Amino acid sequence: MAQQSTGDQLSSSPSGYVTRPGVVTFICITSFISITLQALGLAAYAIGQYQTANEEYFITVVIMGVVLGIFAAIVLGLWRAKNWARIAYVIVFPLLAMLEVLVDPGVVGLVRLPFVVLFCVLLFRPKASAYFRGEALPPIDPGSGLEVGERTIVRCPSCSKEIYSDLPRCHHCGADLTHESSQHPAM
């Protein structure tokens, strides 16, 4: 899904590769850990309660296995930037967390519910939304962690060391660059 860039919108990725935001990675990893722990609990239940002639036991294990498989498919869809997975996550996971609180009001459910709601909100932040739309995010400066706009490397008029063109002060000598921003010679 390529979208044309206009002014303040993000541009589409020319290579088709879009970097996954850290929040989406965190949500996917924590959800996979939760699903894995629930699957281990189901396996322990299946082994501990095993009875060959009990159909209710067999149906319970199969239904729980299918539900965990659906959860895993949703989280895998999040990992692969599928918008259907984001919508399914926002609908299914909070409803099940609320159901868990209503059926068995324990500490685990009360702790899980706020985190699930927070994860749902974070999935619609600008960077996460751009990820699910397949848009490339603006580059990030590793030193500052800030977005790098249209800036170039120029020389400071005071100390002649290399600096970015959009800095208000030279970080080498401290010279005020706000009045001289149009006079910077490009390298």
Assign 16 to helix, strand or coil: coil
Whether the Cβ atoms of residue 78 and residue 93 lie closer than 8 Å to each other: no
**pLDDT, mean of residues 94-103:** 82
Domain boundaries along the sequence of the chain: 22-133, 139-187
Confidence of residue 184 (pLDDT cuts 50, 70, 90): very low
For 153, which DSSP code? Answer: E
pLDDT of the residue at 135: 72
Nearest to 151 by CA among 139, 159, 143: 139
- Write the pLDDT tens digit of every residue in 39-93: 888 778 777 776 666 677 777 778 888 888 888 899 899 888 888 988 998 898 8
Confidence of residue 171 (pLDDT cuts 50, 70, 90): confident
pLDDT of the residue at 112: 79
